[in-house]
């Protein structure tokens, strides 16, 4: 996957003195990792430094992450106070997270609540969704609803109640509906860009400083199937 080539590709969805929300592209990594690719956090720092003519190091706190092959909303904190409060919001699940996913196999129910126990495998960086609790597993819960039927695929809207490793990918795979392009979780072929059709569509939370409700929606990637959902 390609790293971010330059900061002009950054799509800012919301920005104020305390936080910045961006629309992550497929292939971007949120924070630096062993690949050595330039992370989104560094691109956002450069954007802030240039826009506001800031001397020296720019503070930017990583609040949460999205898997590299996914796209959508990522929140960064611009102050330490905002970072502390945002961390609490996400930790205590005081956020409403809505995702869109495209799957080939129609789920048995048009809408349902999925409850599994997720167990992470550190060696191959995957998670497995079990119907019953197993050692070292964590409760995972989400609601989904089919909101559009396409020619060969189904678009699901997902409301996430917990934030487990690869949760949506593992849970949809467990019901026989792996996400388009997600080879790791049972889809039969990859997408041309190496990504998967999972998009962090909407986030609603209380602003950490102003205390006002903030709702942010991220446009879907410019791609044939995603474009049919706009």
Q: Does the global pTM surpass 0.85?
A: yes
> Is-contact 144 107, C-beta < 8 A?
yes
> Is-contact 57 98, C-beta < 8 A?
no
Tell me what percent of the residues of the chain surpass a pLDDT of 70: 97
Biggest CA–CA distance in the chain, Å, is 56
> Is-contact 208 194, C-beta < 8 A?
no
Summarised one tens digit per residue, pLDDT across range 192-210 is: 999 999 999 999 999 999 9
Summarised one tens digit per residue, pLDDT across range 80-138 is: 999 999 999 999 989 999 999 999 999 999 999 999 999 999 999 999 999 999 999 99
Mean pLDDT of the chain: 93
């Amino acid at each position: 996957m390609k790293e971010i080539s330059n900061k002009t590709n950054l799509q800012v969805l919301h920005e104020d003195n305390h936080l910045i929300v961006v629309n992550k592209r497929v292939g971007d990594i949120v924070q630096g990792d062993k690949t050595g690719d330039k992370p989104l956090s560094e691109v956002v720092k450069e954007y802030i430094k240039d826009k506001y003519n800031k001397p020296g190091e720019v503070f930017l706190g990583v609040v949460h992450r999205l898997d590299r092959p996914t796209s959508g909303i990522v929140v960064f904190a611009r102050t330490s106070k905002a970072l502390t409060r945002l961390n609490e919001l996400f930790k205590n699940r005081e956020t409403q997270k809505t995702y869109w996913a495209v799957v080939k196999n129609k789920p048995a129910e048009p809408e349902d609540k999925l409850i599994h126990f997720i167990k992470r495998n550190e060696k191959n960086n995957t998670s497995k969704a079990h119907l019953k609790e197993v050692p070292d597993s964590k409760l995972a819960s989400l609601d989904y609803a089919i909101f559009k039927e396409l020619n060969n695929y189904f678009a699901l809207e997902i409301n996430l109640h917990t934030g487990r490793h690869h949760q949506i990918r593992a849970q949809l795979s467990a019901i026989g509906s792996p996400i388009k392009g997600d080879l790791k979780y049972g889809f039969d072929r990859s997408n041309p860009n190496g990504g998967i059709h999972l998009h962090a569509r909407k986030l609603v939370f209380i602003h950490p400083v102003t205390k006002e409700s903030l709702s942010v929606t991220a446009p879907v990637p410019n791609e044939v199937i995603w474009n049919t959902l706009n």
